[in-house]
Structure 1
Amino acid sequence: MRQEHGKTCLDRAPKTALVIQWAKEHSIRVLNITGPRETKNSGLHNTALAYLRQLLKGT
C-alpha cells in the first residue's frame, strides 16, 4: 500500500482478504480500478474479472 494524491492505494492484486481488511480500515466506499488495456495484455480482462468476483464474494 502507498499514498498517492493524499489517498491510500494498493499497487497490485494482493490476497482478497487483505483488500477487504484494507477497505474496512479505510472506510472505502468507492473503489477505482485501473490498469493496462486488454489489447496490450491478452487475457487480462478475464483475470481481473475473476479477481473482482472473488473479492466481492468475500465482502
Structure 2
Amino acid sequence: MKEKGLTKKEWKEWEKKVKDNPPAEYEQSEKYKDYAYRKSRHVEMLAREFLKEKGKRHF
C-alpha cells in the first residue's frame, strides 16, 4: 500500500529513523515535513473521533 509515495515498510523504517536520529539531520527533508504533517493530521483525526463519540461536533 502506497501512502503519499511511501510504502508501509518504508514508512516504518522512516519512523524508526526519525526516532533514532537527532532532529537537525532530517528536519529539512521533504520526508520529515510529510511525516510531521501526517502526524499532526492523525492527532487531529483522533481528536475528532473522540469528540464524535462524546456527542460534540466541534473542537
Query: TM-score, normalized by length of structure 1?
Result: 0.32
Q: Which has the larger radius of gyration?
A: 2
Query: TM-score, normalized by length of structure 2?
Result: 0.32
